[in-house]
Amino acid sequence: MLAPTHPMQLALGLTVWALWFVVWYSALSLGCALAPPESIGASLSWINWLLIALSLPFIAVLLYWARRSWRASVDAGLTATARFIAQVAAGAHLVAAGAVVFMILPGLVLPPCV
Amino acid sequence: MINNSAHNNGSLHQQLERIWANLPGWGTLSAVNHTTVGLRFILTGVVFFLIGGILAMLMRTQLALPEQEILHAELYNQIFTMHGTVMMFLFAIPILEGLAIYMIPKMIGARDLVFPRISSFGYYCYLFGGIIILSSLFLGVAPDSGWFMYTPLSSSTYAPGPGSDFWLLGVTFVEISAMAAGVELVVSILRTRTNGMTLGTMPIFCWYILAMALMIVFGFPPLILASILLELERSAGLPFFEVAGGGDPLLWQHLFWLFGHPDVYIIFLPAAGVVSTLLPVFAQRPLVGYRWVVLSIIVMGFISFGLWVHHMFTVGIPQLAQAFFSAASMLVAIPTGIQIFAWLATLWTGKVIFALPMLWIMGFLFIFVAGGLTGVMLALVPFNWQVHDTHFVVAHMHYVLVGGMLFPALAGFYYWLPQATGSMPTKKLGYWGFWLTFVGFNLTFFLMHLTGLIGMPRRVYTYEAGLGWDWLNLLSSIGGFVMAAGIAAIIVDIALHFRFGRKAARNPWNADTLEWAVDKPQSTYNFVSLPTVTSRHPLWEDPKLPDTMAEGKHGLATSDHGRREIFGCDPISGRTREIMHLPTNSWWPLLAAAALAVVCISLLVRTYWPALGATLVALVFFLCWSWENGVHPKAAPIEGTEPNDFPLHSRTQDGPGLWGMVVALLADATLYMSLLFGWFYLWTVASEWQVPEQTPIALVPLIVSGVVLSVAVVFYHWIVSGLKQGRGDRLEGNFWWVTLLGLAHVLLIVWTFASSTLSPTQLAHDAVLTVMLIYVLIHSGLATITTALQALRVRKGYVSKALVYEPIVLRPLWIYTLGIFWLSIAAFILMPLGWGAH
C-alpha cells in the first residue's frame, strides 16, 4: 500500500471516486438495460439496493485512507513536504468519501429506470 | 556548481545570449524558446478574440430589434457557430496555454520548458488549424451546427457542405496544440523546478497549471476521438452516429461533453491561478489557506469530469441518473467556494492596493460569483428543463467564461505587462477600459437572464415584435457595443503604453515570485543563474535575489559548453539531480506542422492520395526531429561536462523523455478508453445495433500476431533491463530482432484486416472494429519503426550500454501497445463471443 506521504496519495482518493463513478453509472445503465425492475416506477428496487451496496466499500476505504493520512500528518518527524502531502491527501480522501455519500442520496428516493 | 566570479557576468550574459538567441530574420520562425512561443500564442489568441468579438457584434446587431433582416438565417447560424468555436478553441484555451508556456519556467526558476520543440510545434498546429477553421467563414462555407456540432445536425444528411469538415479537421488540428502543451507543462512543472522548490513551496499558479495540463491530457482525447469518428462517418460513411446503421447520435453528445465540461474548468483554473497569484501581491500578504486552495484545485480537477450529463438533461436520461449528475454538479461549487473564501480572507487580512489589475480581479469576483450561482440553479434538473436552450443558459455561460476567464486574464495581462515590455500601463485609459467592459458586459448578459426566463430561445436569428423581448434585446445590444468600446480602450491603452508608459522597475508591484527576477530588458534565457529556493515567496524573503541571480552567483552559471541547460529536479523535494540540455532553434516543428496542414487541407477537399503523401512526409519530418535527440551532436556535445557536475539527463535512466512518454500515453489511453466506452455504449443503447452472424475477423491469425507481439515486448523489456544493469552486448542486433518481430506482428494484423469480412459502411459494429484495428496497427507500427531507429542509433554511437536513456523512454510504448492489443482482443472480439453476440 502507498505510504500516506507518497505524492500519489494526492490523486488516489479521487481516482477511486472516479472508479466508483464509472461502476455506479455502468451498473445503473446495465441494470436498466438487461433486467429492469418489475415495478418500473418504484423506488428502492433491487438496482437501488445494488447501487448503495456497491458504494459502501468505497466509502469505507476512502474514510480509512483519510484517517490514515491525517494521523500520518501529525507525526512530528515528517518533513514539511511530507506533512503537506499527508494533510492535502487526507482532505482529498475525505472529500471523495463525502462525494460518494452525497451522490448516492438520490438513489434512496428515485426509481432507477424512468 | 556555484560560479563566484561575478566580475565576468557581462561576458556570461553575452555567452548565454549567443546560445539562447533566436535566429535573425525569417530564422525566427525556427525559434523554440518559451518566451517567444508563449508570446506568439498570446498575440495570436488576441487576434482570434477580436475576430470572435466582431462576430458577437454582428449577432447583437441582428438581435437589437425584432424582425430584422441584416443577417439571413443561414449566415446567422454560421456566425454563432464560429463565434463559439473561435472563442472556445482559438482564444480561451490557447491564450491560457500561451500564458502558462510564457510564465511557468520563469516562475519555477528555469530557462525554458522541457520540450521546447514541442512548444513550437504546438504553436504552428494552433496557427494553421485556426487559419483553416476561419477560412471557412471567408469562403462562405462555415460550419453552422453550433460550436458543439451535435449529430445528426452536423452529419452529412443535414450538413452536406464542407462546414462540418472544416470544424472537425481544424479543431482536431488545433487540439494537437493543446495536447502538446498539456504534456509539456506537466513534465516541466514536476521535473524542472529550481533547486529546493518543493511541491509545497512552488507558486500556487503552478498548481493550477499542473491541474489544467493534466485535465487537458484526460479531457481532450474524447473530443479528438469523436471528431475522428464523425469525420469518418461524413467522408467514408462509417455509421457511428446514424441510427439506421446501428449507431446513436447521443454518443456524440456524451463524447463531446466528456470533453466540454472539463473544458470549462480547463479554462477557469489558469484564470483562477492568476487571481491566486495577484491577490496576495496586491494585499501584500501570503495567500490565506495555501493547502486548502491546493486541495480545492485537485478536487475540482476530478469532480469536473463527473458533470457532463448536466448538458444533456433533456435527452431522455432516467431520473436517477439525472439526479446523480445533478448532485455532482452541485458538489463542484464547494471547491470553487473554498477558493473564493480564501481570496476574500486574503483581502480581508491584507492592506489592499487598488491598482488596475486589482480592479479586474474585483470585477471577476462579482461576475464569477453571479455565474456560479446560476450554475447551481442550472444543476437543478427541473429548473434546467425550464430554461434549457434559452438565453438564460447563454447568460450563465458568459458570466462563467467571461467572468471566470476574461477578467482574470486581463488582470494578469496588466499585471505582467511591465514584466514583458518594461513599461507600466497608463492609468486613465486602463480604468476607462475596465469600467466600459464591466458595465457593458453586465448590461448585455444580466438582461439576457431575463430574456431567457421569459422564453427567448437561443440560436434564433430573429424574433417577432411584441413578445416582451424587444427592449431587453435592444439594451443587451447596446451593452455589447459598450463592452466593445471597453475592449477598444484596452487595445489603445496597450498600444500607447509602449510610447507613453512609465519605465517599470524590475519588480514594480513588489511581487513575491521569481518571474520578477528576470533581466530587463528581457532575455531569451530568463536567468543568468538559477537560485536555491526554500520559500513560497523568494523575492519577499530576499529582495536582493534578482541581483545576485543576474550576477551569476547561483547555479548553472556556466555556458562555455554551448548547451541550453536547465536543472532537472526530484518531483517532490525539488532537489536538483540532473542537468537537462535542451534543443536549440529548429525547423522541424514548423515543417511537421506544415505537412500536417497539407494533410488537413487534402482531407477537406477529399483528395486522399495527397493526404497520404503528406502524412508520410510528416512522418519523415518527425523521425528526423527525433533523430536530433539524446547525445546527437546537435543536442548535447559530450565535451564540456565537468566531472563534478550533475549528470546530463541523456546519461540518466529517468530523464524527462520517460515522463513525457508516460504522460502522452495517459492521453492515448484516454482516447482508447473513449473508444471502448463508445463500443459498450452502442452495444447496450443503440436501438438498431446489429452484430454479424459470423465474427468478421479471423481470430487465429490475430492471436498469433499477439503472441509475436508479446515475444517482441518481452525481448525488448529484457534488453532494457540488461542495459539498466550495465549489460549491452549485441545491442544493435537485438534491436533489429525486436524490429523484425514487430514487423511480423504488423504484417499479420494487416493480413487479418485485409482478409476480414468487415462491412464498416454498413454496420456500426464493424465500423468500431475497423477503428480499433487501425488504432492497434498505428501503435504497433510506431513501436516497430522507433525500435529500428534505435538500432541505427546504436550503430551511430548515440545509444549504448553507457547511454541507455532512449531505449528506456521507448519501453512504455511497447508495453502500452501490448496492453491495448490484448485488451482489444478481449473487449472487442472475445467478450461478444462469450456473451453469444456473434
User: What CATH number does residue B790 fall under?
Assistant: 1.20.120.80
Q: Inspect the interface and report whether the beta carbons of A28 and B318 lie closer than 8 Å.
A: yes
| Contact between B692 and B725 (Cβ < 8 Å) | no
Q: Inspect the interface and report whether the beta carbons of B324 and A102 lie closer than 8 Å.
A: no
Contacts with B292 from chain A: Cβ below 8 Å: 91
* B582, part of any domain: yes
Say yes or no: B666 and B699 in one domain: no
CA A64 to chain B, closest CA, distance in angstroms equals 18
Q: Inspect the interface and report whether the beta carbons of B295 and A112 lie closer than 8 Å.
A: no
Residue type at B819?
A: G
Say yes or no: B639 and B750 in one domain: no
Q: Which residue has the cell 472516479?
A: A18
* B710, part of any domain: yes
Q: List b or e across B398-409, with b for residues whose CB sees 16 or more CB atoms inside 10 angstroms.
A: bbbbbbbbbbbb
Q: Distance (Å, rounded) from C-alpha A76 to C-alpha B426? A: 51
Say yes or no: B201 and B70 in one domain: yes
Picking from B619, B654, B681, the residue at the C-terminal end of a domain is B681
CA B537 to chain A, closest CA, distance in angstroms equals 16
Contacts with A18 from chain B: Cβ below 8 Å: 302, 305-306
| Closest Cα in chain B to A102 | B327
Contacts with A7 from chain B: Cβ below 8 Å: 199, 571-572
* B70, part of any domain: yes
Give the length of chain A.
114
Say yes or no: B694 and B671 in one domain: no
Say yes or no: B700 and B675 in one domain: no
Say yes or no: B729 and B652 in one domain: no
**Could you give the number of structural domains in chain B?**
2
Phi, psi of B703 (to 5 degrees): -65, -40
Q: Inspect the interface and report whether the beta carbons of B291 and A87 lie closer than 8 Å.
A: yes
pLDDT the model gives residue B638? 59
Nearest to B323 among A11, A18, A106 (CB): A106
Q: Distance (Å, rounded) from C-alpha B150 to C-alpha B159? A: 11
Among A2, A36, A25, which residue's Cα sits nearest to residue A107? A25
Q: A70 touching B, CB under 8 A? A: no
Coil vs helix vs strand at B668: helix
Q: Which residue has the cell 532537472?
A: B568
Supply the ipTM of this predicted assembly: 0.96
pLDDT the model gives residue B1? 41
CA A97 to chain B, closest CA, distance in angstroms equals 12
| Contact between B116 and B181 (Cβ < 8 Å) | no
Q: Distance (Å, rounded) from C-alpha B778 to C-alpha B54? A: 42
Nearest to A102 among B199, B327, B572 (CB): B327
| Closest Cα in chain B to A16 | B302
| Closest Cα in chain B to A108 | B320
Q: Which helix (H) or strand (E) segment is B567 a member of? A: strand B564-569
Q: What share of chain A is helix, strand, coil (3-state, %, to 5)?
A: 75, 0, 25
Contacts with A32 from chain B: Cβ below 8 Å: 318
Say yes or no: B218 and B108 in one domain: yes
Say yes or no: B520 and B567 in one domain: yes
Q: A24 touching B, CB under 8 A? A: yes
Picking from B681, B704, B725, the residue at the C-terminal end of a domain is B681
* B748, part of any domain: yes
C-alpha to C-alpha distances, B544 to A54, A78, B430, nearest whole angstrom: 58, 31, 31
Which DSSP letter does residue B555 get? Answer: B
* B254, part of any domain: yes
| Contact between B104 and B206 (Cβ < 8 Å) | yes
* B422, part of any domain: no
Q: What pairs with residue B423 in β-bridges?
A: B503
Q: Show Cβ contacts of residue A60 under 8 Å, excluding neighbours closer than 6 positions.
A: none
| Contact between B566 and B111 (Cβ < 8 Å) | yes
Say yes or no: B669 and B769 in one domain: no
**What residues of chain B, 176 to 205, have a C-beta less than 8 Å from chain A?**
198-200
Contacts with B324 from chain A: Cβ below 8 Å: 24-25, 28, 103, 106-107
CA B681 to chain A, closest CA, distance in angstroms equals 9
pLDDT the model gives residue B522? 81
Give the length of chain B.
838
Candidates B295, B339, B376, B535: best to mutate against A (most CBs of A within 10 A) is B295
Task: Please list the alpha-helical segments (H only) found in B454-536.
Answer: 470-500
| Closest Cα in chain A to B307 | A21
Phi, psi of A35 (to 5 degrees): -145, 70
Q: Inspect the interface and report whether the beta carbons of B321 and A14 lie closer than 8 Å.
A: no
Coil vs helix vs strand at B624: helix
Picking from B620, B653, B681, the residue at the C-terminal end of a domain is B681
CA A59 to chain B, closest CA, distance in angstroms equals 16
Which DSSP letter does residue B144 get? Answer: -
Q: A32 touching B, CB under 8 A? A: yes
A and B: number of Cβ contacts within 8 A: 91
Q: B299 touching A, CB under 8 A? A: yes
Region A83-111 average pLDDT: 95
| Closest Cα in chain A to B309 | A25
Contacts with B685 from chain A: Cβ below 8 Å: 29, 33
Task: Please list the alpha-helical segments (H only) found in B237-332.
Answer: 249-283, 290-303, 319-331
Domain of residue B747 covers 690-838
Say yes or no: B35 and B150 in one domain: yes
Q: What share of chain B is helix, strand, coil (3-state, %, to 5)?
A: 70, 5, 30
Q: What is the Cα B106 distance to its own chain's centre?
A: 20
Q: Inspect the interface and report whether the beta carbons of A112 and B571 lie closer than 8 Å.
A: no
Q: Inspect the interface and report whether the beta carbons of A110 and B305 lie closer than 8 Å.
A: no
Q: Inspect the interface and report whether the beta carbons of A106 and B685 lie closer than 8 Å.
A: no
* B304, part of any domain: no
Contacts with B571 from chain A: Cβ below 8 Å: 7
pLDDT the model gives residue B203? 97
* B577, part of any domain: yes
| Closest Cα in chain B to A85 | B200
Phi, psi of B728 (to 5 degrees): -150, 35
Say yes or no: B558 and B698 in one domain: no
Q: At what angle do helices B34-63 and B93-107 cross, to 10 degrees?
A: 150
Of the CA atoms within 13 Å of residue B222, those in its CB half-sphere come to: 24
CATH of residue B123: 1.20.210.10
Q: Distance (Å, rounded) from C-alpha B80 to C-alpha B626? A: 41
Reading phi first (left if > 0) and then psi (alpha if -120 to 50, else beta), residue B455 is in left
Q: A49 touching B, CB under 8 A? A: no
pLDDT the model gives residue B639? 56
Q: Distance (Å, rounded) from C-alpha B69 to C-alpha A49? A: 58
Q: Inspect the interface and report whether the beta carbons of B573 and A81 lie closer than 8 Å.
A: yes
Say yes or no: B639 and B754 in one domain: no
Among B548, B292, B480, B264, which residue's Cα sits nearest to residue B378? B264
For chain B, residues with pLDDT lower than 50 are 1-4, 6, 838
